[in-house]
Amino acid sequence: MKNTVLALAFFVFLFAFAAKPSLAARHEPLVLHSDGQQLLTATSNCDIVTQFECNGKSSWPELVGVNGEIAAATIQKENPNVHAIIILEGTPVTQDFRCDRVRVVVDKYEKVVQVPRIG
């Protein structure tokens, strides 16, 4: 009897979960919010359009290979609207987009290994 109840509960859960429409199945836009501001509009997982523009320079490809501290100082000098954050390559980061943040990804030798860009 106990196994029957568990199996029935599992079936009901699966049915309820499968009945929810996925993001990819939506036809109307999905608006994602952070701190009350509209950030992104998406109609599928592969169709994300930003709804804002960031001020100032937004990427620094010339800093790849440069020392992380020097790169962070250069970024903040060239765009005072951002805060450059130095992180070690492979460190987990959030996926939210912010106009006031630039991640400077460095290797174990403290050299920039990815193009720093706003986000």
pLDDT tens-place values along the chain, 119 residues long: 555 555 555 545 445 444 444 443 434 443 444 444 444 444 334 344 444 588 899 999 999 999 999 999 999 999 999 999 999 999 999 999 999 999 999 999 999 999 999 99
Q: Label the pairing between strands 101-106 and 37-44.
A: unpaired
- The length of the chain, given as a count of residues: 119
Sign of the Cα torsion 59, 62, 66, 70 reads: negative
Residue 9, pLDDT score:
56
All domains of the chain in start order, with CATH: 22-52 (no CATH), 54-119 (3.30.10.10)
pTM attached to this predicted model: 0.58
> For 53, how many CA atoms within 13 A lie in the half-sphere containing its CB?
3
Burial (CB count <10 Å: 0-12, 13-18, 19+), residue 42: middle
